[in-house]
Amino acid sequence: MKNFSCSCGQTLFFENTRCLNCDKPVGFDAGSRQMYPTDPDIQDAPRGPGVLCRNATVFGVCNWFVSDQDSDFCLSCTLNHTIPNLLEPDRRRWWKSLEQAKRRLIYSLLSLQLPVVSKGDARDGLAFKFIEDQRTNPLVREEFVSTGHNDGLITINIAEADHVRREQSRQYTGELYRTLLGHFRHEAGHYYFDRLVKNSGTLEAFRVLFGDERKDYSAALQDYYANRTSLQKDPDLISHYAQAHPLEDWAEVWSHYLHMVDTLETAATYGMQQGSELSDDIDQLLVKWSQLSMMLNSLNRSMGLEDAYPFVLSDLTLSKLRFVHGLIYPS
């Protein structure tokens, strides 16, 4: 993720709603992937005043401009199928965290020039459903809501936006890494499997690397969760959960690819030699990622924190990351 600049010279970050120096309100324009003042003056970029998303002006959970002047919502918010019940305590705070993570995902997808279309506009489009279950709200109908993907609809249990509950889940499942952004990137991987692999000429190459995706998905997940605690991690796979099913292995690798390219772009923004541009050669990206992730882990240890990237990438995983890169940047 790159940083942005206000006309006064102050650095703007992706989540900013105002410039901290000149106090101008600012917003993000998805078309140009730039941030602008909402009411520019002669010193600002040559563009008309931006119209902020309704979720920015009414609820304060967004900072994007609308892309379609006939809509009240920005590109990211038009992807929403269901939002939390804002009459419940904490739900607006949780929703804001969900929207911030979603916008970071959408920024990466746009930067990689991947198709981002609302399911309301196209049958094979994308949509997001943010709901909870009776574990956090006994008054709702759903007894159990699992984060997942189905035909372009990504469901996120909004309890994942609560830091304490998410950490409890991470400890219970024995995961090395669990974040809101990680959930969004993982579930997006399922969606882009359907768009980039499922009916393409790359399906056989996928099966060679990941396995046969036609394996019974429900049975595989039931077996995984029934034996999760006794199942030793396969050192060739990127995570413990990647063992559940070839499609979960794919989604894990896809999310790690997005972790990698976004963090490398951030490093490049700060002038680090380990930084890299999105479209760089994949072998160069992987070498720089190895260097950068080791440095991130060392910095975290210096602060008494857990490793920022607690993963070891096998040769097979590196081949899978190359496969993902080749889908996004076909030669």
Q: Would the pLDDT of 47 be above 70? A: no
> How much is the pTM?
0.93
Please tell me which residue, 6 or 331, carries the higher pLDDT value.
6
The per-residue pLDDT for 176 is: 87
Q: Which helix (H) or strand (E) holds 285?
A: helix 282-302
pLDDT over 70, % of the chain = 97
Q: Would the pLDDT of 2 be above 90? A: no
Q: Would the pLDDT of 151 be above 80? A: yes
The per-residue pLDDT for 160 is: 94
Weakest-pLDDT range from 38-42, 53-57, 126-130: 38-42
CA distance linking residue 263 with residue 269, whole number of Å: 10
CA-wise closest residue to 127 among 104, 156, 100, 101: 156
The per-residue pLDDT for 40 is: 62
In this structure, which amino acid lies at residue 218? S
Q: How does pLDDT run across 74-123, given as a tens digit for each residue?
A: 999 999 999 999 988 789 999 999 999 999 999 999 999 999 999 989 99
The per-residue pLDDT for 41 is: 60
Q: How does pLDDT run across 152-182, given as a tens digit for each residue?
A: 999 999 999 999 999 888 888 888 899 999 9
In this structure, which amino acid lies at residue 215? K
The per-residue pLDDT for 184 is: 97
The per-residue pLDDT for 55 is: 96
Its sign, for the CA torsion 237, 232, 179, 196, is positive
- The predicted model gives 117-141 an average pLDDT of 93
The whole-chain average pLDDT of the chain stands at 92
Confidence band, pLDDT 50/70/90 cuts, at residue 328: very high
The DSSP letter of residue 29 is E
Q: How does pLDDT run across 269-312, given as a tens digit for each residue?
A: 999 988 888 777 999 999 999 999 999 999 999 999 999 999 99
The per-residue pLDDT for 89 is: 79
CA-wise closest residue to 47 among 61, 63, 26, 62: 26
CA distance linking residue 140 with residue 132, whole number of Å: 8
The per-residue pLDDT for 172 is: 83
Q: How does pLDDT run across 10-28, given as a tens digit for each residue?
A: 999 999 999 999 998 999 9
- With 0-12 / 13-18 / 19 or more C-beta atoms within 10 angstroms meaning exposed / middle / buried, residue 67 is middle
The per-residue pLDDT for 112 is: 95
What distance lies between CA 91 and its chain's CA centroid?
A: 20
Q: Would the pLDDT of 130 be above 60? A: yes
